[in-house]
Structure 1
């Protein structure tokens, strides 16, 4: 088991965002977290990344608890997040954004090699390498956010709403890229409003409702589950 989230509790003041969330991720999997807005999906990712500290629970990664580590140490350990809303550095170039993704590293030849891999995977970023990130389209910014996260050579990639605000054709392209990243050896934890797309590429999935896991199983089974279809796939 690569990552084990155990009994995670998070509060924002009096509001309880997570109430005992537990799940596991094995090496090489794509695991999806699905649920309505406000279910606690993004909070879960931000807690794993160290951006939010839980009031209770553990985040075991390769046998070590990450809960007390600062975010940059979690990146160094091998977990990188693509945040909701891209969060690219708009006044920096594409190239500078990608360099920022490697800020925990000092192996110059390895960084150069990974930059080449990112440009191979996202040719549009290479074409626009000297362009300011703020002038890119939404889809290109999503690619840049993913490329930037990959520059830290993560073993686990946390993706928060990668399809948000993108045209259907681009959504398809982004999900193909996620599958490709996974097949080249990166484990993926995916939070996604588009439950159908998430379940179509995931191995397993967990359904969150008001800060709790209420359903879990193989993605291929959940996509055909009547409750899931009604609540999250917009099907009667």
Structure 2
């Protein structure tokens, strides 16, 4: 499989804090790759750097052979990268439908947009029932579905997901992970940041373990799940 996304020796600073210390990672087309690690390890910073919200001080980011290190977030979306942000970040005072339409703001194909909204409703029937409802009144699980649906409206080739299971009841966590697998089976590559390391490793092809801004371990997800170090630190083993 060809490399779709490559991070090469990325360094990110917040003022004097060296948040990301020379990360290099690869995501190949068709994969689910998980980033796991403790709070503050730099997982969200890594995703935000990929999608242009944070500028790296050194290093390069390549997507589909294009250098995207210094591109703006809208241009990165246009190339085919969408993010489901941590904490959902939906537009709470707009309707479900308006949120979905905003996800397609870089597109002009009206028929395709209508078709994709229907696809989102097929995947998330609860959103269809609530399409005219103000998004802030949805439950946590429904808001997460909306955040995923909105990201899919950009027709991404690579979907970045930041803590999709955060704050959800266990039964909903299972449902969200089934949805992630389904999206991947439909041809979308996924880079997943997730506190729930057990679930993240169970659906990923490969994984990276982040510790205070650097990669401590990497490999096939099933091997990392069996790694005593990983079990002790992240799987309660």
Q: TM-score range by the shorter chain?
A: over 0.9
What does residue 54 of structure 1 align with? 56
2:85 is the alignment partner of 1:83: yes
- Could you tell me how far apart the structure 2 residues matched to 1:114 and 1:80 are? 15
Matches within 5 A, 1:145-224: 145-224=147-226
- For residues 50-71 of structure 1, what are the alpha-carbon distances to aligned partners after superposition, in whole Å with 9 as ceiling and x for unaligned? 0000000111011111111000
Structure 1 residue aligned with 2:98, among 96, 99, 122?
A: 96
Structure 2 residue aligned with 1:3, among 2, 5, 19?
A: 5
What does residue 27 of structure 2 align with? 25
Residue 212 of structure 1: how far off its partner (Å): 0.3
Indicate the SS of the match to 2:226: coil
Residue 234 of structure 1: how far off its partner (Å): 1.2
What does residue 36 of structure 1 align with? 38
Residue 136 of structure 1: how far off its partner (Å): 0.3
Indicate the SS of the match to 1:223: helix
Moved over 3 A (4+): none
- Could you tell me how far apart the structure 2 residues matched to 1:186 and 1:69 are? 22
Indicate the SS of the match to 1:171: helix
Residue 145 of structure 1: how far off its partner (Å): 0.2
Structure 2 residue aligned with 1:63, among 62, 65, 84?
A: 65
- Could you tell me how far apart the structure 2 residues matched to 1:77 and 1:128 are? 31
Residue 31 of structure 1: how far off its partner (Å): 0.1
Could you tell me which runs of 5 or more consecutive residues in structure 1 were left unpaired when the two chains were aligned: none
- For residues 111-157 of structure 1, what are the alpha-carbon distances to aligned partners after superposition, in whole Å with 9 as ceiling and x for unaligned? 01111110000000000000000000000000000000000000000
What does residue 14 of structure 2 align with? 12
Structure 1 residue aligned with 2:116, among 114, 128, 133?
A: 114
- For residues 62-105 of structure 1, what are the alpha-carbon distances to aligned partners after superposition, in whole Å with 9 as ceiling and x for unaligned? 11111110000000000000000000000000000000000000
Indicate the SS of the match to 1:227: helix
